[in-house]
Amino acid sequence: MKKLLAKKIVVFADGGSRGNPGPAAIGVYFENLDKKYGDFIGEATNNVAEYKAIIFALKKIKQLIGRNKAESSEIEIKSDSQLIISQLNGKFKLKEEDLGKYFIEIWNLKQDFKEVSFIHIPREKNKIADLLVNETLDSKSNKKLF
């Protein structure tokens, strides 16, 4: 297991739903910590799932490295959602009212770290996080209720 003391933590985050809204999941891969998580979040839109993936990532980092190390850490969050990354970087306005609470939560979580940057990447560079989303959704849809 790699040390959890990295000064710069690189995160790949993705969220998705089957239907919009529909069953939704998040996938988060911490590249230099070699940790990955997939989580089912219930019924949500794609955009809500994308925001929740970033929220999960910021909370999980703090849990993994502790508050004191978080304060001196730089976080780089990479996502293939141009809309969400552009909103978080102040380039696009929030037009969907229900996304505001997630934006504010991320803004507040950012305060726990030295620096948090949001970077848009092409979908093909976000394969691990995307796979985590799809594996989580597949495992949920395979459970039949009789």
| Structure tokens that stand for 134 in this block | 């799809």
What pLDDT score was predicted for residue 49? Answer: 98
Question: Tens of pLDDT along the chain (146 residues)?
Answer: 444 555 799 999 999 999 999 999 999 999 999 999 999 999 999 999 999 999 999 999 999 999 999 999 999 999 999 999 999 999 999 988 899 999 999 999 999 999 999 999 999 999 999 999 999 999 987 654 43
What pLDDT score was predicted for residue 146? Answer: 36
- Which residues, in sequence order, are bridge partners of residue 43? 23
What pLDDT score was predicted for residue 89? Answer: 97
Fold (CATH) for 8-122 = Nucleotidyltransferase; domain 5 (3.30.420)
What pLDDT score was predicted for residue 11? Answer: 98
Asked whether 140 and 22 are in contact (CB, 8 A), the reply is no
Secondary structure percentages of the chain, helix, strand, coil, to 5 = 45, 30, 25
Domain residue limits, the chain? 8-122
What pLDDT score was predicted for residue 143? Answer: 54
